[in-house]
Amino acid sequence: MSLSLFSLEGKVALVTGSGQGIGLAMAEGLSEAGAHVVLNGRDEAKLEAAQKAIAVAGRKVSIAAFDVTDQAAVDAGIAAIEADTGAIDILINNAGMQKRGAFTEYAAADWHQVVATNLHSVFYVTQAVTKGMVARNRGKVVNIGSVMSELGRPTIVPYTATKGAVKMMTRGLAAELGKHNIQVNAIGPGYIVTELNKALIADETFSAWVRSRTPAGRWGETKELVGAAIFLSSAASDYVSGHLLMVDGGLTAAV
């Protein structure tokens, strides 16, 4: 009985930025839990490869290639998903990027790109999706924050600013949309092994710092975010909203 709370059978889930890495891992996990997963990104070739990998197991998966930083493209993309696949029950806002640089020399163009990708996209996609959720009086929204929603590090001030904003947008949305039976939460990944982190992983000095700073003593794996994603997307979290669930090996709990 209790395990049925985590079932996503009959649900449609949109995961942005799901052509690879964390987004793909969470999409695979939701599909294993029974959801029809819609993969989103700008690279259609990556999306098609991910779709084939998930479909091999006989799971329901489709793709919707559009730019989440373009509001018109988002509105058209969401409308197409709901017309072709069905009402979106679960939204995971995962699309994001990082550009490092000294703050005093940071280019304004790079600032705007990071903010558009990490923050504007969450506004555009969530607004487009929750209009339907409000009308149906149900829905789950999961935003992907970061340990940098709570902490700071040199050379990533724009990223930290956006992830802090995602945390507060999560709380604001939870407060506003709760009366419509919509739960809005966030996941805060720690240092996770992904393609985008290859250079950091290869830097032994940095990797040694991650291992020493993280109580678990290691980098995390993308698969270790799946349980949190399923929980926050399922009936198991129906009375959980406005929460930032850290999946960081204890990093934010330790000094």
Would you say residue 254 lies in a domain?
no
Average confidence score pLDDT of the chain: 97
pTM summary value: 0.97
Q: How far apart are CA 224 and CA 222, in angstroms?
A: 5
Would you say residue 255 lies in a domain?
no
Q: Give 78-95 pLDDT, tens digit per residue.
A: 999 999 999 999 999 999
Q: Which domain holds residue 162?
A: 2-247
> Domains in the chain: how many in total?
1
Would you say residue 187 lies in a domain?
yes
239 is annotated as an active-site residue: no
The pLDDT of residue 150 is above 70: yes
Would you say residue 253 lies in a domain?
no
Would you say residue 229 lies in a domain?
yes
The predicted pLDDT at position 1 comes to 65
Q: In what order do the strands lie in the sheet with 244-247?
A: 61-65, 36-41, 12-15, 90-93, 139-144, 182-189, 244-247
The predicted pLDDT at position 67 comes to 98
Q: Which of 106, 159, 191, 239 is catalytic?
A: 159
CATH number for the domain harbouring residue 91: 3.40.50.720
The pLDDT of residue 235 is above 90: yes
